[in-house]
A and B are shown apart, each in its own frame.
Chain A
Amino acid sequence: MTRLASRPGLQARLRRLAALVLAVGIIGLAAVPGAARAAGAPAEPKVRVDLLSEVGAVAPGATFWVGLRQRIAPGWHTYWINPGDSGEPATIEWTLPRGFQAGPVAWPHPHRIPLGVAMGYGYEDEVVLPVPITAPAGLPPGTRVTLEGRASWVVCEKICIPEEALVALTLPVGPAAPDPSGAPVVARARRAVPLPSPWPASFAASRDTVTLTVAAPGLAAERIAEVWFYPLRWGAIEHAAAQTVEVTARGITLRTARGAAREAAEAPIDGVLVITERLEGGPSSQAFALRVTRADGAAALAGPLGLWQVLVLALAGGLVLNLMPCVLPILSVKALALARQGSGAGATTLRWHGVAYTAGVLASFAILAGVLIALRAGGEQIGWGFQLQSPWFVTLLAYVLFAMALVLSGLLSIGGRLAGLGHGLAARGGYAGSFFTGALATVAATPCTAPFMGVAVGFAVTQPWSTALLVFEALGLGLALPYLLLSLVPAWRRLLPRPGAWMERLEQLLAFPLYASVAWLVWVLSQQAGPPGVAAVLAGLLLIAFAAWLHATSRAARLPWRRAAGAGAALAVLLALAPLPLLSVGAPAPGLGAGEAEGGVAWEPFSTKRLAELRAEGRPVFVNFTAAWCITCLVNERVALRSPAVARAFADKRVAYLKGDWTRRDPQITRVLDAFGRSGVPLYLMYPGTGGPAAGGEPAVLPQILTEGTIVEAVDKS
Chain B
Amino acid sequence: MDQLTRRSFLARTGAGALAAGAAGAALVTPRPAGAAAKVGEPAPAFTAASTSGGSVSLADQRGKIVVLEWTNHDCPYVRKHYESRNMQGLQKEATGQGIVWLSVISSAPGTQGHVSPGQANDLTTKRGAGPTAVLLDPTGAVGKMYGATNTPHMYVIDKAGMLMYAGAIDDRPTSRQSDVPGANNYVRAALQAVSAGQPVKTPATRAYGCTVKYA
Q: Spell out A's residues near B (CB within 8 Å).
A: 36, 38-39, 85-86, 88, 115-118, 120, 154, 156, 158-162, 208-209, 234-235, 238, 240-242, 256-257, 260-262, 303-304, 307, 352, 355-356, 359, 362-363, 366, 430-432, 435, 464, 466-467, 469-470, 473
Contact = CB atoms under 8 A, between A and B. Distances in A.
Given A86-B208, A241-B32, A359-B12, A160 B26 contact: no
B71 interface: no
Given A304-B29, A432-B5, A235 B74 contact: no
Contact of B149 (A117, A156, A159, A352): A117
B115 to A, nearest CB: 12
A466 B32 contact: no
B213 A85 contact: no
Nearest to A263: B204
Contacts of B173: 88
25 contacts: A36-B76, A38-B112, A85-B206, A116-B211, A116-B212, A118-B211, A158-B213, A159-B75, A160-B76, A162-B76, A238-B32, A260-B36, A261-B204, A262-B203, A359-B16, A363-B16, A366-B16, A430-B1, A432-B5, A435-B5, A435-B9, A435-B12, A464-B26, A466-B23, A466-B24
Nearest to B2: A430
A366 B16 CA distance: 8
A257 B35 contact: yes
A116 B12 CA distance: 52
B38 A260 contact: yes
Contacts of A363: 12, 15-16
A260 B166 contact: yes
Chain B interface mostly: loop
Interface in B1-57: 1-2, 5-6, 8-9, 12-13, 15-16, 19-20, 22-24, 26-29, 31-32, 34-36, 38-39
A572 to B, nearest CB: 38
6 smallest CB-CB distances across A and B, nearest first, come from A234-B206, A257-B32, A359-B13, A466-B26, A118-B149, A260-B204
Contacts of B214: 116-117
Contacts of A161: 76
Given A208-B35, A235-B204, A432 B8 contact: yes
A257 B34 contact: yes
Nearest to B40: A262
Given A356-B9, A469-B19, A85 B150 contact: yes
Contacts of B211: 85-86, 115-116, 118, 120, 156, 160
Nearest to A360: B12
A241 B211 CA distance: 16
Contacts of A38: 74-76, 112
A209 B9 contact: no
A466 B27 contact: yes
B9 A432 contact: yes
A242 B12 CA distance: 41
A601 B197 CA distance: 66
B159 interface: no
B144 interface: yes
Interface of B: 1-2, 5-6, 8-9, 12-13, 15-16, 19-20, 22-24, 26-29, 31-32, 34-36, 38-39, 74-76, 111-112, 144, 147, 149-150, 166-167, 173-175, 203-214
A307 B27 CA distance: 10
Given A304-B27, A470-B24, A158 B150 contact: no
Given A116-B211, A160-B75, A304-B28, A240 B1 contact: no
A366 to B, nearest CB: 6
A355 B204 contact: no
Nearest to B143: A117
A334 to B, nearest CB: 16
Nearest to B36: A260
Contacts of A156: 210-211
A466 B147 CA distance: 31
Contacts of A432: 5, 8-9
B16 A117 contact: no
Given A116-B211, A470-B20, 18 more contacts: A38-B74, A39-B74, A85-B149, A88-B208, A117-B34, A154-B175, A158-B213, A159-B112, A160-B76, A208-B31, A257-B35, A260-B166, A304-B27, A362-B13, A431-B9, A466-B24, A469-B19, A473-B23
Contacts of B26: 464, 466
Nearest to B204: A260
A538 to B, nearest CB: 41
Nearest to A473: B20
A664 to B, nearest CB: 39
Nearest to A234: B206
A159 B204 CA distance: 25
Contacts of B38: 260
B127 to A, nearest CB: 14
Contact of A262 (B16, B111, B175, B204): B204
A169 B34 CA distance: 47
Contacts of B19: 366, 469
A435 B10 CA distance: 11
A159 B74 contact: yes
Contact of A260 (B13, B20, B23, B39): B39
B150 to A, nearest CB: 5
Contact of A467 (B27, B150, B207): B27
A667 to B, nearest CB: 46
A431 B2 contact: yes
B13 A355 contact: yes
A93 to B, nearest CB: 13
Contacts of B15: 363
Contacts of B31: 208
Contact of B5 (A85, A257, A431): A431
B24 to A, nearest CB: 7
A359 B211 CA distance: 58
Contacts of A473: 20, 23
Given A235-B204, A430-B2, A362 B76 contact: no
B112 A158 contact: yes
Nearest to A355: B13
A260 B212 CA distance: 18
B165 to A, nearest CB: 11
Contacts of B175: 36, 88, 154, 162
A118 B212 CA distance: 9
A241 B27 contact: no
Contacts of B13: 355, 359, 362
Contact of B34 (A36, A234, A241, A469): A241
A240 B34 contact: yes
Contact of A117 (B27, B144, B166, B206): B144
Contacts of A362: 13, 16, 20
B29 A159 contact: no
A541 B204 CA distance: 60
B48 to A, nearest CB: 18
Contacts of A85: 149-150, 206-207, 211
A469 B23 contact: yes
A650 B112 CA distance: 58
Nearest to A37: B76
A43 to B, nearest CB: 16
A303 B150 CA distance: 30
Nearest to B151: A86
A363 B8 CA distance: 13
Contacts of B22: 466
B2 to A, nearest CB: 6
A442 to B, nearest CB: 13
Contacts of A158: 111-112, 213
Contacts of B12: 359, 363, 435
A160 B74 contact: no
Contacts of B39: 260, 262
Contacts of B36: 260
Nearest to B15: A363
Nearest to B32: A257
A235 B206 contact: yes
